[in-house]
Structure 1
Amino acid sequence: MCYSTTLRKQRKEVEKRLYQEINTEFEIDFEYTPYFHLNGFSHGNVYIIKMDEPDRIHPAAWGLVPDWGVHNPEVFWKKSNTLNARAESLFEKPSFKNSANDKRCLILSDGFYEPHHVGGVSIPHFCYQPSKEYPEGDLFLFAGLYNELDNDLLSATIITVEANDFFAEVHNKKKRMPLVLAYDLYEDWLDNGLNQSQLNELMAYGFTNRDFKAHPINRDLYYKKNVNTNIPEIIKPIDYPELNTLF
C-alpha cells in the first residue's frame, strides 16, 4: 500500500534534477504546489510524466479513473479504491489493464508513509531516500498508470509490489511497497514497444538499488481527522518505547 506521499522540492529543484536525467520539464499552464503530506483519499494532485509526453510534467488526480467512470470521478472514487495497482494483477483488473498497455507514467515523490504494527497498534513511518544533496529525502519516481478525465484532466495510480527485506520490516503486516524505479529504467517504463512479459519482468526486478531510510512519526497527528497534516512537523521523528527496531 502507498496511500500518502510527499513532494517537498520546489519547482526549480525538480526541473533541474529531471532535466539532467531525462530531459523533462513542467507543463507551463498549471500551478505547482509542493506538499509534506498528500492523503490519497483526498484525490489531490500528484505530478506525473506520461508515455506520450516524456518531456513534460503534468498534474493528475490520485486515484486512477477508468474510461467508464471519467464522466463522474467522484462517484467512482466513492465506490472504488484505485490509489494503488498491484503489479501481480495489473493485466487482469478491468480498472488497470488498458492503461497498463499504453498509459504508463512516472510519478514524482521524495517520500511516502507506511504503517508499522506493534502489538495491534499502527505506528506510521516516513520513508525516504537520503542523498548527499538531500539528506532528508531525494527525488525519486514511482512506476504508475494514468488515464484521461473529461476537460483534459488526468488521474493516476501508483504500482505496488511485494516488499523487499527492508520494507517487509517497515510495512510488517501487508508487506507491500510502492514500485520506486531504478533511475536507469525510467525510459524503459515509458517505452511503448514493451510487451506484457517484458513489463512484468521490469516490475519484478526494477526497484531501485538506492537505499531507503524510515523513522516513526507522530501517530496522533498523522491519524487525526479534520486537521491540516500538510505541515513540516508531520515527518518529524518520534520515539516510541514499544519500538525496538531501527530501520
Structure 2
Amino acid sequence: MCYATSLRKKREEIEQRLLNKIGATFEDPLDYDPYYHLNGFTHGNLYIIKMDEPESIYPAKWGLVPDWGTHDPEAFWKKSNTLNATSEHIFERASYKDSAEDKRCLVLADGFFEPHHENGVSIPYFCFQPSNEHPEGDLFLFAGLYNELDDAQFTATILTLEANPFFAEIHNKRKRMPLVLADHFYEDWLDDGLNQPQLNELMATGFSDRPFRAHPVTRDLYKKGVDTNKPEFIAPLDKDTLF
C-alpha cells in the first residue's frame, strides 16, 4: 500500500514537466508546498489534476471522503482508511464507485515509501524514478479518485494494484504497489468517454514502463512526534545499520 509520498519539485519544474504531457498548471501557486515526506494519516494535501479541469492542479486532502461523510470529514477518517483504493474493486466499493465513474484524477509525486519486512522488522524504502535530468527522482503521476468537500476543497485517494516483480520484493508482505501511470495514459485516465471495461483494462496494463529504484531509509520515519519533512528522511542507508 502507499501511505506516504514525496513531492520535492519546485512549482516551475512541475509545470514545465507537465507542459508537453497534459499542460496543467497550479490553479493557485501560493497553495503549493513541496515536501520530502507526507504521512497520509495526517490527511495533508496531495496535488491533483481533475477530470473536469485537466488544465489545473489543485490541493486535495489525502483520504477520499464520499458524499455521505462530507458533513464531518474528521469523523469519517477516524472510522475509515481511504488513503488507497484497490483498483480491482473501485466499481464495487460504495466509497469509490461514484468517483470511479466521473471523478478520476491524477496525483502528483516524485517518490513514495513502502515497508519492507525482514527478520520481523519493518524497514521503510524510498521508491523513485530516476532520469538524466532528475537522478534523485523525476515527477510521475498516480491514478487516483477524488471527491468534493465543498466548492473549494477536495479529498483524494491513490489506486493500488498487485505488485510487479520489483515491488513484490520491496513490499514483500502485502505485495501491492500504487498505480503509477505511463505518460501516454494520462489523458485516457481523465477521459469521461471510457466505459468500465476500458478503465479496468487501463488499470491492469497502464503502469509506467520507466524503471524504478528503491533504497532503505531511516526507521525514525515511524516515530511519533518527529518532523519527517526533511531531506535526511529520504537519504539512503545501509540496511545492516537498521537492525
Structure 2-normalised TM-score?
0.98
Deviation string, structure 1 residues 47-95 (Cα, Å, up to 9, x no partner):
0000000000000000000000011100000000000000111111100
Contact 2:106 2:142 in 1 (8 A): yes
Equivalent-residue separation in structure 2 for 1:47 and 1:240 (angstroms): 32
The 5-angstrom pairing of residues 11-50 of structure 1 reads 11-28=11-28, 30-50=30-50
Alpha-carbon offset, residue 242 of structure 1: 8.2
Equivalent-residue separation in structure 2 for 1:131 and 1:29 (angstroms): 25
Partner of 1:214: 214
More displaced, 61-70 or 16-25?
A: 16-25
Partner of 1:59: 59
Q: Secondary structure at the match of 1:131?
A: coil
Equivalent-residue separation in structure 2 for 1:46 and 1:232 (angstroms): 18
Alpha-carbon offset, residue 151 of structure 1: 4.7
Partner of 1:121: 121
Deviation string, structure 1 residues 121-146 (Cα, Å, up to 9, x no partner):
10000000000000010000000000
Equivalent-residue separation in structure 2 for 1:242 and 1:120 (angstroms): 15
Q: Letter of the 2:188 partner, please give it.
A: D
Q: Letter of the 1:240 partner, please give it.
A: K
Partner of 1:240: 239
Partner of 1:227: 226
Alpha-carbon offset, residue 22 of structure 1: 1.1
Q: Letter of the 2:121 partner, please give it.
A: V
Deviation string, structure 1 residues 151-175 (Cα, Å, up to 9, x no partner):
5200000000000000000000000
Equivalent-residue separation in structure 1 for 2:172 and 2:72 (angstroms): 36
Alpha-carbon offset, residue 17 of structure 1: 0.7
Q: Secondary structure at the match of 1:143?
A: strand
- Let me know the Cα RMSD of the aligned residues: 1.1
Equivalent-residue separation in structure 1 for 2:170 and 2:29 (angstroms): 39
Partner of 1:198: 198
Equivalent-residue separation in structure 1 for 2:30 and 2:188 (angstroms): 27
Partner of 1:106: 106
Alpha-carbon offset, residue 29 of structure 1: 6.4
Gaps in structure 1 of 5+ consecutive residues: none
Contact 1:126 1:215 in 2 (8 A): yes
Q: Secondary structure at the match of 1:21?
A: coil
Q: Letter of the 2:221 partner, please give it.
A: Y
Partner of 1:167: 167
Contact 2:31 2:59 in 1 (8 A): no
Partner of 1:144: 144
More displaced, 150-159 or 209-218?
A: 150-159
Identity between Structure 1 and Structure 2 (%): 68
Alpha-carbon offset, residue 30 of structure 1: 4.3
More displaced, 149-158 or 179-188?
A: 149-158
Contact 1:118 1:242 in 2 (8 A): no
Contact 2:50 2:103 in 1 (8 A): yes
Alpha-carbon offset, residue 227 of structure 1: 1.1
Q: Could you say if the C-alpha distance between residues 41 and 63 of structure 1 is closer, same or farther in structure 2, counting changes exceeding 3 Å? A: same
Q: Could you say if the C-alpha distance between residues 130 and 190 of structure 1 is closer, same or farther in structure 2, counting changes exceeding 3 Å? A: same
Equivalent-residue separation in structure 1 for 2:60 and 2:31 (angstroms): 12
Deviation string, structure 1 residues 15-55 (Cα, Å, up to 9, x no partner):
11112211111102642100000000000000000000000
Equivalent-residue separation in structure 2 for 1:114 and 1:56 (angstroms): 29
Equivalent-residue separation in structure 1 for 2:209 and 2:181 (angstroms): 9
Equivalent-residue separation in structure 2 for 1:151 and 1:193 (angstroms): 24
Alpha-carbon offset, residue 120 of structure 1: 1.1
